């Protein structure tokens, strides 16, 4: 997943759960400013920050082998 996809995933998930940025910031203990920056694609969050956010949204970060034989 590229940067933008990650952002999109987080944002969509947040909206699906009907949580505002403000609320998510509180729940995850991430500054509102930081969260906003991230969601608007202007940040380069720390792994810890991303994890805190993902966590609250019921998601987790993982690493997977890229599919080399990218058939399209």
Partner DNA sequence: CGTTAAAGTGCATTATATGGCATTATTTAG
Partner DNA sequence: CTAAATAATGCCATATAATGCACTTTAACG
Q: Is 16 in the site for a copy of itself (CB under 8 A)?
A: no
Question: Which of DNA, a copy of itself, none has residue 31 at its interface (CB below 5 to 8 Å by kind)?
Answer: DNA
CB of 41 to DNA, least distance (A): 8
Cα–Cα distance between 19 and 69 in angstroms, integer? 38
Q: Give the whole-angstrom CA distance, residue 44 versus residue 50.
A: 10
> Least distance from C-beta 59 to DNA, angstroms?
17
Among 21, 54, 55, 59, binds DNA (CB under 7 A): 21
**Contact status, residue 8 vs residue 32, Cβ threshold 8 Å:** no
């Amino acid at each position: 997943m590229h940067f933008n996809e990650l952002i999109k995933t987080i944002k969509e998930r947040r909206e699906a759960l009907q949580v505002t940025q403000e609320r998510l910031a509180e729940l995850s203990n991430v500054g509102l400013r930081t969260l906003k920056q991230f969601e608007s694609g202007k940040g380069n969050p720390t792994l810890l920050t991303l994890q805190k956010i993902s966590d609250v949204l019921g998601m987790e970060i993982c690493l997977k082998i890229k599919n080399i034989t990218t058939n399209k």
